[in-house]
Structure formats: structure tokens, C-alpha cells
């Protein structure tokens, strides 16, 4: 018969304790893992929070290098706006207190409030032309009188701009193409007059023109055309300044003409030009003159307007009212032409067969296109001048003014 051996009590107690210890260890391990997970989660959350705070700080605060760069950019922006306002006038408005949506015309560093829409329209302004700025920008400009009506173009102001503060009494000058309205009279200083034909021929040409008082046409001293200025003018005579109002656009070869002026002008002397802007004249529909066209005329040494110049002028010029052309709603589509294509063609043929000088606008500019052309010619070393002063067209006028200064050889 088999007998069962029973394990002693001590052994059983040890086994039970061992099992309970294993359970506790497992529980402790689980707790530790949970704690670790919670710790890691907290750490992650902390890191995320820290990154978020950094991002928010970077939006609100700028590092010193970036801050200084932004200050420079802002300063440049303000300088550009100020410069624009001094050169050609700007419409600036501000929604900041105390301006509250007011609009100002800013010209020559002075701001003038435009109080009503009728005045706004009378100046030919459009709402999209307004540049909205902060109050600090507007406060950069001196306060001027409010605008009440469109300004008239002052003759005295025009003359002072063209003559560039030249001392007329102690200078020798040449005025080209004075017609019946010379800029400088014989009483004002030592002045000579030049044109493409004689006084008698000019009187004959303009005697039926109501816009020209032929009794005021001065005696022409030098005839330019077949001869250069240096050949037409005595060799002992040179000038401190040359005035040409609405002349350069009539010149067939502008580059050659400027070179001729340089020959009779003293070093540092001035060429004072008033030039029509096509946007406000009968050249309204004509294409702007290009550098290629100027070079072509120069290399062909044109002394009289060529057939291309004559036909382009006569077939495209129309009757334009300068005041109306400043309006934003101006429409010249129904403007009356001065010539038919047939008469333009006949003038071309006549100029070749009879070697007739047909006086036309050989070149066409806006204020900005002229500057671009001149800069291009300067880069090609085709002109011996620099631009000393420049004036945009006065509102309701049809011309811009450029003062050239001769460079030393």
C-alpha cells in the first residue's frame, strides 16, 4: 500500500510568499511603467508648450538684427514716398486719428487737404490714385493751404524754372525758336536768337495763325539748318546758357543737335528745355520715340525732317484740349484729325522733290520716357550733358522742363 508524503508547512508558506512577492513585483513594474509613461507625456507636453511659447514670442518680438533691418526698410520706404511727393506730387490719405480718412495732395514737401469730391474731380484725381499711409508719414510734411480750385500755371514760375536762376545781366545766352514769345528779351540781357529760317519767312508762315502775334517775332540772328550752329555763329562767340522752349521735338536729329549745342556752349553751361508731354498735346495718339529711332537719325545725319517723321506726325496728330486731357475720364477717340493720310503723303513727296523743310514734331516724349532715353544715350556716350534739374508737368499744363549741364571734355 502506497503512502503519501506530505510537504512540511514551512515549505508551503515559503511558496505562497514567493508567489505574492511576484505579484507585487509585477504590480510595481506596471506602476513604474505607468509613471514613466506619465512622465514622458508630461515632458512632451512641456516641450510642445515651450516651442509654442517661443513661436508666439518670435511673432511679437524681433531679434535686434531683424529689428534694425526693418527700421532701415521702413526708413527707405518713407524716404521714397517723400521723394515722390517732392518730384511729382502724390495723393496721400490716412485712416488714423486725427485724419480719419482725409486725403491730401502732397507736392514739394507740403500737404494740402482736398476738402470735397467736386474739388477732387476738378483736379483730375481718381480714388485708386490714393496711397494710404499712417499718420506718422503725413506728419512728415509741412501743412499748406487747403485746395479750393485748380491752380493756374504761373508764367513767372515757368520762366524761373526754365532759366534755372541764371544771372541774365552777366551772361551771354542763345534762345532757339523764340517765335512771338521769347523767354528772354533783349532788355533782360545779352541774348541772341536762332531759328530754322529768317524773321520774314516766319512772319509769312504764321500771319494767318490766330495763336501767333507776328508783330512780336524778334529779329533772328542765326539761321540753323543746312549749317551747324558752330558754322552759323561766329567762332569768337560762345554761350553761358541756351534756351529752347518746345524746340527739341522739332529737331530731326536730336543726338547731333545736342552735340552742336555743346560746341557753342561753355563748360558747365546750361541747356534749358521745355518739352511737350504727348499725353496733353496733339501727339496724344503717336507712339513714343525710341533710342533706335534717335540713333538712326543721328547716323543718317538728318538736317531736315525725313518722310517717316513727316508722315507719322501728319497722319496721327489730333485736336486736343490740354485741360480736358488731365481728366481721368478723358476720351480722345472722336478727336478731329489735322491732316488726312493723303495730305500727309503729299507733304512727304514735296519735302523730297522740292527739298522743302516741313516743320513737324520729329520726336515724341512723356516726361518719363525722355529721362529713360537720355539715360540710355548717356550710357552709350552719345551726349555730353548731365541732367541738372527736372520738373514734372504742372497740373493742367502740357510740358515738362529739363535743365541739362555741359560736362567738361
pLDDT tens for each residue of 311-320:
999 999 999 8
- Does this model's pTM top 0.85? My answer is no
Grid coordinates standing for 251? Answer: 529737331
C-beta atoms surrounding 37 within 10 Å: 10
Task: Please give the C-alpha separations between residue 163 and each of 151, 157, 167, 389, 392, in angstroms, as whole numbers.
Answer: 22, 10, 9, 11, 16
Among 289, 342, 281, 282, which residue's Cα sits nearest to residue 317? 282
Domain boundaries, the chain: 73-143, 155-406
Q: Write down the pLDDT at residue 149.
A: 45
Q: Write down the pLDDT at residue 409.
A: 75
Q: Write down the pLDDT at residue 115.
A: 64
Q: Does residue 54 sit in helix, strand or coil?
A: helix
What is the 8-class DSSP label of residue 183? S
Q: Does residue 27 sit in helix, strand or coil?
A: helix
Residue 314 CA to its chain's centroid (Å): 29
User: Does domain 155-406 fall into CATH 3.40.50.150?
Assistant: yes
pLDDT tens for each residue of 63-112:
444 455 545 445 545 554 444 444 446 777 787 877 777 777 777 677 77
Alpha-carbon distance 242 to 268, whole Å? 12
Average pLDDT per 10 consecutive residues for the chain, totaling 409 residues? 51 58 70 69 71 65 48 51 50 77 75 62 53 79 64 59 89 92 90 92 84 85 88 93 94 95 94 94 94 95 93 93 82 90 94 89 94 93 92 86 91
For 188-219, the three-class secondary structure string (H helix, E strand, C coil) is CCEEEEEECCCHHHHHHHHCCCCCCCHHHCCC
Non-local (6+) Cβ contacts of 219 within 8 A are 193, 199
Amino acid at each position: 500500500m502506497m503512502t503519501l508524503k506530505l510537504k512540511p508547512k514551512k515549505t508551503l508558506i515559503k511558496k505562497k510568499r514567493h508567489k505574492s512577492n511576484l505579484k507585487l513585483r509585477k504590480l510595481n513594474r506596471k506602476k513604474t511603467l505607468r509613471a514613466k509613461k506619465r512622465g514622458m507625456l508630461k515632458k512632451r507636453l512641456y516641450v510642445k508648450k515651450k516651442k509654442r511659447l517661443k513661436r508666439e514670442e518670435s511673432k511679437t518680438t524681433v531679434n535686434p538684427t531683424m529689428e534694425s533691418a526693418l527700421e532701415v526698410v521702413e526708413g527707405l520706404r518713407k524716404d521714397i514716398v517723400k521723394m515722390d511727393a517732392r518730384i511729382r506730387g502724390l495723393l496721400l490719405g490716412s485712416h488714423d486719428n486725427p485724419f480719419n480718412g482725409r486725403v491730401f495732395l502732397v507736392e514739394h514737401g507740403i500737404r494740402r487737404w482736398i476738402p470735397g469730391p467736386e474739388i477732387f474731380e476738378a483736379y483730375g484725381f481718381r480714388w485708386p490714385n490714393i496711397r494710404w499711409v499712417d499718420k506718422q508719414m503725413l506728419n512728415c510734411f509741412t501743412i499748406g493751404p487747403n485746395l479750393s480750385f485748380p491752380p493756374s500755371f504761373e508764367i513767372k514760375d515757368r520762366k524761373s524754372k526754365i532759366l534755372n536762376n541764371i544771372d541774365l545781366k552777366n551772361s551771354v545766352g542763345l534762345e532757339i525758336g523764340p517765335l512771338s514769345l521769347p523767354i528772354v528779351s533783349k532788355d533782360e540781357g545779352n541774348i541772341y536768337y536762332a531759328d530754322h529760317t529768317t524773321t520774314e519767312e516766319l512772319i509769312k508762315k504764321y500771319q494767318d495763325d490766330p495763336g501767333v502775334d507776328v508783330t512780336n517775332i524778334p529779329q533772328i540772328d542765326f539761321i540753323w539748318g543746312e549749317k551747324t550752329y558752330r558754322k552759323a555763329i561766329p567762332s569768337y562767340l560762345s554761350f553761358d546758357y541756351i534756351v529752347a522752349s518746345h524746340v527739341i521735338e522739332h529737331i530731326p536729329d536730336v543726338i547731333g543737335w545736342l552735340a552742336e549745342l555743346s560746341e557753342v556752349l561753355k563748360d558747365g553751361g546750361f541747356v534749358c528745355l521745355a518739352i511737350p508731354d504727348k499725353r496733353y498735346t496733339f501727339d496724344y495718339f503717336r507712339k513714343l520715340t525710341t533710342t533706335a529711332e534717335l540713333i538712326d537719325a543721328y547716323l543718317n545725319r538728318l538736317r531736315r525732317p525725313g518722310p517717316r517723321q513727316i508722315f507719322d506726325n501728319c497722319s496721327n496728330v489730333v485736336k486736343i484740349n490740354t485741360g480736358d486731357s488731365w481728366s481721368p475720364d478723358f476720351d480722345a477717340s472722336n478727336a478731329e484729325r489735322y491732316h488726312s493720310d493723303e495730305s500727309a503723303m503729299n507733304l512727304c513727296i514735296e519735302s523730297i522733290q522740292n527739298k522743302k523743310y516741313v516743320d513737324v514734331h520729329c520726336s515724341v516724349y512723356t516726361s518719363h520716357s525722355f529721362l529713360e532715353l537720355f539715360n540710355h544715350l548717356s550710357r552709350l556716350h552719345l551726349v555730353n550733358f548731365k541732367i541738372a534739374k527736372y520738373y514734372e508737368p504742372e497740373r493742367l499744363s502740357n510740358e515738362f522742363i529739363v535743365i541739362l549741364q555741359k560736362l567738361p571734355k
